[in-house]
A and B are shown apart, each in its own frame.
Chain A
Amino acid sequence: MPVFARAQLRRQRINFALFLGPALVLLFLFFVAPIVIDLFLAFTDMGRTLAVGKFTLENFERMFTRDTRLLGALGVTFIFVLATLGIFNVTFALLLALVTTAVPPRLGAFFRAVWLLPRMSPSVVYALLWLWVADPNERGLLNQIVMHVFDMPPIDLRNNHPLLVIILANGFIGASLGMLIFTSAIRSIPEHLFHAARVDGAGSLAIVRYITLPALRWPISYMTIHQTLSLLVSFEYILLITGGGPFYDTTVFSLYAYRRAFESGEYAYGAALSLILVVIGVLAALALWRLMDMKQLLQQPRIEVH
């Protein structure tokens, strides 16, 4: 090999390390390493002392045969994800996007900004807000309305309908992402299609049905998959607002893993639960991917440019 070619090869290697190295290190640290560690821990008996005594399948045996709470957590997770996604993150986001693009632009922008506010505030502040809204005594926002407008006794939403509270809290903040994505998708529909539809005799509802919704098919599929995955693993608001309670009534699967690991100190068991959550996530994503025919989306361009 000539000298200059060898030097070039060397330079290429250095460049590779220089430019891709940092990203690879980060990728490894934050994506690969946690999974590897989780996998490792799931098969140990690590407890509060952080000592690994033995490698064992005990965690999984306990999960599938003895853990009476697991099924409950799965049920709560299912209801939580389905309701938050179905009512808020997709449906309500879609409504918001449709409405805010139909009204005059300034008004629409104002409404979207309002819906984005909670995203911009720290989670703790947002959670505190909900604590105040749902406060069981007469100072809570909801109770002020209930008592003064409807003349009814105060209600304790957090105790009596805890699942509703966490769905509302997650939904109101979750809808904003979908709203943004759907809004920009609606904006990218060529104006002349709306014009043509109006001339062809379509009213507002028919325009939504025949022009807007078909153009939103892929954003909706994408949002559904994305939000399913993120709702499966997110529990910060639940932890802050209800702490998973009362009892285990709002303990979704991810929160259950967290509580087992960090409240009971059963790190190994928590790790095993997380591993199952990863499997559930992958299965859900694959199922939705199939269901929504996302492959088609990635294969050919779906946006037509005129």
Chain B
Amino acid sequence: MARIELKNLRKEWGGAIAVAGIDLAIEDGAFVAVLGPSGCGKSTTLMMLAGIYRPTSGDITFDGARVNDVEARGRNVGIVFQSYALYPNMTVLENVMFPLRFKTIERTEAERRSREVATLVRIDGLLDRRPGQLSGGQQQRVALARALVKRPHLLLLDEPLSNLDAGLRLTMRTEIRRIQRELGVTTILVTHDQVEATTMADRVVVMNSGRVEQQGTAEDLYERPATLFVASFVGSPPINLFDGHAAGGMLSVNEARLPLADPVQGAVVLGLRPESLRVNGSGDSGRTISRISAVEPMGREVLYTADSAFGVIRFLEAGAEPRHRESDDVPLGFPPASALLFDKDSGRRLDARVAA
């Protein structure tokens, strides 16, 4: 188990920047999720941690020791690749046992451990098959078993659950979390899925174009996003964003005008979460009559689209049955503390709030 640190880590591919200077510290035994859009450098970062890619500059340390020059096999890292990377000519059992070949372990002991791990990820019935005879989800679990069998100090998971069906994904989430706690192994999980990131990890790191945008708990990211990017990337359905202009203690957004609690000047972006908007809430700000243009029941919630004074806006209401219909006019508002303000130029969140 190891404490991992990345210091100004960069990776360039012949001029193209994949990772543009990352600083990150991961405590021993922590479970960190890396969340970000496709191509933002998540896999590249993992590959550098595993010792497969060499950083262009910057440092990686395990327990304070610089490992930049340590080969992959000297790092004791387990990794589940995005593409699984199972050995096609070996059976499942041989695949899982493969990392133990290079350790000083008795063959019987190696096999016992492999079977144990296989049972843990529920592939114990498939041990004699070859990867070509497995479904995508089964392959992923074999890859997970292979990563775990050598009891690594650091476990790297590159979208390990992307090919599972919803039910299996849920159980595997809990399984991975449980295994991680049991072994106490420092774990980094790369995912596109914010629910996965927030439910499995202690801490979420949001990446965008090779940089860390923000790191924190799921609550931090949701309630106090550092940037416009994080605000729009975290939360589903996505946050409503409106361009506005602040002057003289007032924020104008299209036809709407909101009083500001703090002094702000200039171009500002107003962010309103669909779930913080409500109809007829007491003490709400920015209440405007909005006309509903679409109603989408989503199971336990209903998503509405409405034309408001701010512009087209989407909001959620709890309950399976829609309470409003298309073309209804509803008084829509939000608790003043829930509105987020961003500086338009820098994209950074402003400390300012909307007044009640």
Say yes or no for B13: interface residue by CB 8 A criterion.
Answer: no
The reply to whether B89 and A214 form a contact with Cβ atoms under 8 Å apart is yes
CB-contacts of A181-217 with B (<8 A): 190, 192-193, 195-203, 206, 210-211, 214-215, 217
The reply to whether A201 and B73 form a contact with Cβ atoms under 8 Å apart is yes
The reply to whether B99 and A192 form a contact with Cβ atoms under 8 Å apart is no
Task: Please tell me the number of chain A residues within 8 Å of chain B, measured between CB atoms.
Answer: 20
A124 CB, nearest partner CB in chain B, Å: 44
The reply to whether B84 and A306 form a contact with Cβ atoms under 8 Å apart is yes
CA distance A65 to B85 in the complex (A): 61
Chain A residues with CB under 8 Å of B132's CB are 304
The reply to whether B87 and A199 form a contact with Cβ atoms under 8 Å apart is no
Say which one of B22-30, B46-54, B184-192, B228-236 lies at the interface with A. B46-54
The reply to whether B71 and A196 form a contact with Cβ atoms under 8 Å apart is no
Say yes or no for B323: interface residue by CB 8 A criterion.
Answer: no
Chain A, residues 262-306, CB within 8 Å of chain B (1/0): the string is 000000000000000000000000000000000000000000101
Say yes or no for B101: interface residue by CB 8 A criterion.
Answer: yes
Chain A residues with CB under 8 Å of B90's CB are 210
Tell me the nearest residue of chain A to B84, going by C-beta. Answer: A306
Query: Which range contains the number of B residues in contact with the other chain?
Result: 20 to 34
Tell me the nearest residue of chain B to A301, going by C-beta. Answer: B132
Chain B, residues 92-136, CB within 8 Å of chain A (1/0): the string is 000000110111000000000000000000000000000110000
**Given A196-B81, A199-B50, A211-B87: A206 and B131 interface contact (C-beta under 8 Å):** no
The reply to whether B50 and A193 form a contact with Cβ atoms under 8 Å apart is no
Chain B residues with CB under 8 Å of A199's CB are 50-52, 72-73, 75, 77-79
The reply to whether B72 and A198 form a contact with Cβ atoms under 8 Å apart is yes
CA distance A222 to B121 in the complex (A): 39
The reply to whether B87 and A198 form a contact with Cβ atoms under 8 Å apart is no
The reply to whether A195 and B52 form a contact with Cβ atoms under 8 Å apart is yes
Q: Please tell me which one of the listed residues B50, B87, B146 contacts residue A210 in the complex, with CB atoms under 8 A apart.
A: B87
The reply to whether B101 and A201 form a contact with Cβ atoms under 8 Å apart is yes
CA distance A211 to B94 in the complex (A): 13
CA distance A118 to B102 in the complex (A): 42
The reply to whether B89 and A201 form a contact with Cβ atoms under 8 Å apart is no
Chain B, residues 15-56, CB within 8 Å of chain A (1/0): the string is 000000000000000000000000000000001001110000
Q: Please tell me which one of the listed residues B51, B77, B79, B88 contacts residue A304 in the complex, with CB atoms under 8 A apart.
A: B88
Tell me the nearest residue of chain A to B132, going by C-beta. Answer: A304
Chain B residues with CB under 8 Å of A192's CB are 81, 83, 85
Tell me the nearest residue of chain A to B146, going by C-beta. Answer: A200
The reply to whether B73 and A304 form a contact with Cβ atoms under 8 Å apart is no
Say yes or no for B291: interface residue by CB 8 A criterion.
Answer: no
A208 CB, nearest partner CB in chain B, Å: 13
Chain B residues with CB under 8 Å of A196's CB are 79, 81, 85-87, 146
B51 CB, nearest partner CB in chain A, Å: 7
CA distance A199 to B150 in the complex (A): 11
Tell me the nearest residue of chain A to B71, going by C-beta. Answer: A198
Chain A residues with CB under 8 Å of B150's CB are 200-201
**Given A195-B52, A196-B79, A304-B132: A201 and B85 interface contact (C-beta under 8 Å):** no
The reply to whether A198 and B73 form a contact with Cβ atoms under 8 Å apart is yes
A99 CB, nearest partner CB in chain B, Å: 20
A186 CB, nearest partner CB in chain B, Å: 14
The reply to whether A215 and B89 form a contact with Cβ atoms under 8 Å apart is yes
The reply to whether B73 and A193 form a contact with Cβ atoms under 8 Å apart is no
CA distance A280 to B107 in the complex (A): 46
The reply to whether A190 and B83 form a contact with Cβ atoms under 8 Å apart is yes
The reply to whether B102 and A200 form a contact with Cβ atoms under 8 Å apart is yes
Tell me the nearest residue of chain B to A303, going by C-beta. Answer: B88
The reply to whether B87 and A193 form a contact with Cβ atoms under 8 Å apart is yes
CA distance A201 to B132 in the complex (A): 23
B43 CB, nearest partner CB in chain A, Å: 10
Chain A residues with CB under 8 Å of B75's CB are 199
B155 CB, nearest partner CB in chain A, Å: 11
Chain B residues with CB under 8 Å of A195's CB are 47, 50, 52, 72, 81, 85
Of B51, B72, B131, most A-chain CB atoms within 10 Å: B72
CB-contacts of B129-151 with A (<8 A): 131-132, 146, 150
Tell me the nearest residue of chain A to B139, going by C-beta. Answer: A306
CB-contacts of B252-289 with A (<8 A): none
Chain B residues with CB under 8 Å of A201's CB are 73, 99, 101-103, 150
CA distance A200 to B143 in the complex (A): 11
Chain B residues with CB under 8 Å of A197's CB are 87, 98
CA distance A150 to B103 in the complex (A): 47
B225 CB, nearest partner CB in chain A, Å: 34
The reply to whether B99 and A198 form a contact with Cβ atoms under 8 Å apart is no
CA distance A211 to B79 in the complex (A): 18
B177 CB, nearest partner CB in chain A, Å: 23
The reply to whether A198 and B85 form a contact with Cβ atoms under 8 Å apart is no
The reply to whether A198 and B84 form a contact with Cβ atoms under 8 Å apart is no
Chain B residues with CB under 8 Å of A306's CB are 83-85
Closest 6 CB pairs of A and B: A201-B102, A214-B89, A196-B85, A192-B85, A200-B99, A198-B72
Binding site for A on B (CB under 8 A): 47, 50-52, 71-73, 75, 77-79, 81, 83-90, 98-99, 101-103, 131-132, 146, 150
| 24 residue pairs from A and B, CB less than 8 Å apart | A192-B81, A192-B83, A195-B47, A196-B79, A197-B87, A197-B98, A198-B51, A198-B72, A198-B73, A199-B52, A199-B75, A199-B77, A200-B150, A201-B99, A201-B150, A202-B73, A202-B101, A203-B102, A206-B102, A210-B98, A214-B88, A215-B88, A217-B89, A306-B85
Binding site for B on A (CB under 8 A): 190, 192-193, 195-203, 206, 210-211, 214-215, 217, 304, 306
Given contact pairs A195-B72, A196-B146, enumerate 12 new A-B contacts (beta carbons under 8 Å): A195-B50, A195-B52, A197-B98, A198-B52, A198-B71, A199-B73, A199-B75, A200-B99, A201-B102, A202-B101, A214-B89, A304-B132
